[in-house]
């Protein structure tokens, strides 16, 4: 079999949030894929600072972070695309005036501008993330690749209309990822396709969330986890089992790749 490039989402795909760990079967599958000459690439909405060493644990040094805004190839950053600074300032002012907390993701940090309520804690608890540290006006002195808007779900659409150059993308019931428009994880995939001279027919992508839809559509073979949102399952070429029921291992066993 020709070498395949396998883009794996992190939360809900590699990581089982019920146990807050990578299932042993997933580790085994990734190791076998690597031993068989395939390239495993992490593709996550998380910033680099919240990988928590999972990349090293899985011996993966090529990855996409912040929903395609940061790309590393063999441990070297080859792409970074931060949000327009004036737009960030404007959104932060609107958020602060409306007592909405907003978190910033740079290439090194994950911090929050205010703590009007506890939604940021609930958001972090879903993904088992550390709570962002309070750092007011962090955005004035740092490049911001992604923001998290801790919103009242029924109201966030009006902010989306106020900021037409931004993409507001559902992350979980407590918060929403904000990036500049122009794509999501497939942006990072395209960067790596060019850098690594990858043929599209050799791309497999696996995910479970709304932010994985474009990645699944871009891949030659797009796979949804059994625990995926319905929208992703409808987009995918196939559906495997859930993350907590050996979904990754079963998928690549079925594809005769391990």
**pTM reported for the whole predicted model:** 0.93
β-bridge pairing 221-224 and 101-105: unpaired
pLDDT at residue number 235 = 96
pLDDT in tens, 141-191: 999 999 999 986 667 778 888 999 999 988 888 999 999 998 999 999 999
Question: What span, in angstroms and rounded, lies between the C-alpha atoms of 72 and 74?
Answer: 6
pLDDT at residue number 153 = 66
pLDDT in tens, 73-87: 999 999 999 999 999
pLDDT-above-90 percentage for the chain:
92
pLDDT at residue number 154 = 66
pLDDT in tens, 97-106: 999 999 999 9
229: left (phi over 0), alpha (psi -120 to 50) or beta: beta
Question: What span, in angstroms and rounded, lies between the C-alpha atoms of 139 and 160?
Answer: 20
Residues 248/254, Cβ–Cβ less than 8 Å: no
Q: In which residue ranges of the chain is CATH 3.30.1240.10 found?
A: 85-180
Residues 42/141, Cβ–Cβ less than 8 Å: no
pLDDT at residue number 159 = 87
pLDDT at residue number 169 = 86
For the chain, how big is the Rg over CA atoms in Å?
18
Question: What span, in angstroms and rounded, lies between the C-alpha atoms of 80 and 68?
Answer: 9
pLDDT at residue number 39 = 98
- Tokens linked to 46: 């998380």
Q: Which of 15-24, 47-56, 137-146, 166-175 shows the lowest per-residue confidence on average (mean pLDDT)?
A: 166-175
HSE toward the beta carbon, residue 29, CA cutoff 13 A? 23
pLDDT at residue number 137 = 96
Question: H or E element: which one contains 92?
Answer: helix 85-97
Q: What is the mean pLDDT of residues 245-258?
A: 98
Three-class DSSP category at 192 = helix
Q: In which residue ranges of the chain is CATH 3.40.50.1000 found?
A: 5-80+183-254
In sign, the C-alpha dihedral spanning 19, 24, 27, 33 is negative
Over 90: is that where the pLDDT of 65 sits? yes
Mean pLDDT of the chain: 95
pLDDT at residue number 160 = 86
In sign, the C-alpha dihedral spanning 211, 213, 218, 219 is positive
Q: What is the mean pLDDT of residues 16-38?
A: 97
pLDDT at residue number 152 = 64
Rounded to 10 deg, the angle between the 247-254 and 24-35 helix axes is: 30
Which single residue is written with the structure tokens 């497939």? 186
CATH code at 5-80+183-254: 3.40.50.1000
pLDDT in tens, 197-233: 999 999 999 999 999 999 999 999 999 999 999 999 9
pLDDT at residue number 151 = 82
Q: In angstroms, how far is the first alpha carbon of the chain from the final one?
A: 11
Question: What span, in angstroms and rounded, lies between the C-alpha atoms of 143 and 136?
Answer: 14
pLDDT at residue number 33 = 98
Q: Which CATH architecture has domain 85-180?
A: 2-Layer Sandwich (3.30)
């Amino acid at each position: 079999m020709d070498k395949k490039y396998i883009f794996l989402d992190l939360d809900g795909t590699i990581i089982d949030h019920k146990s807050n760990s990578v299932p042993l079967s997933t580790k085994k599958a990734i190791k076998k894929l690597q031993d068989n000459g395939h390239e495993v690439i992490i593709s996550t909405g998380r910033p680099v600072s919240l990988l928590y060493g999972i990349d090293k644990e899985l011996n993966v040094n090529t990855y996409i972070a912040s929903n395609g805004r940061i790309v590393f190839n063999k441990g070297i950053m080859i792409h970074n695309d931060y949000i327009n600074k004036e737009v960030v300032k404007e959104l932060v002012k609107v958020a602060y005036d409306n007592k909405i907390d907003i978190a910033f993701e740079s290439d090194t940090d994950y911090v929050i501008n205010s703590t009007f309520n506890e939604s940021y804690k609930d958001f972090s608890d879903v993904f088992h993330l550390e709570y962002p540290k309070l750092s007011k006006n962090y955005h004035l002195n740092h490049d911001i690749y992604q923001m998290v808007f801790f919103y009242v779900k029924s109201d966030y659409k009006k902010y989306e209309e106020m900021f037409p150059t931004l993409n507001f993308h559902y992350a979980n019931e407590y918060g929403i990822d904000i990036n500049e428009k122009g794509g999501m994880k497939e942006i990072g995939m395209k960067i790596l396709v060019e850098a690594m001279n990858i043929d599209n027919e050799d791309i497999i992508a696996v995910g479970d969330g709304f932010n994985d839809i474009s990645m699944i559509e871009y891949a030659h073979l797009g796979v949804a986890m059994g625990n995926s949102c319905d929208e992703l399952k409808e987009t995918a070429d196939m559906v495997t089992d859930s993350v907590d029921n050996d979904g990754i291992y079963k998928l690549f066993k079925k594809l005769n790749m391990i």
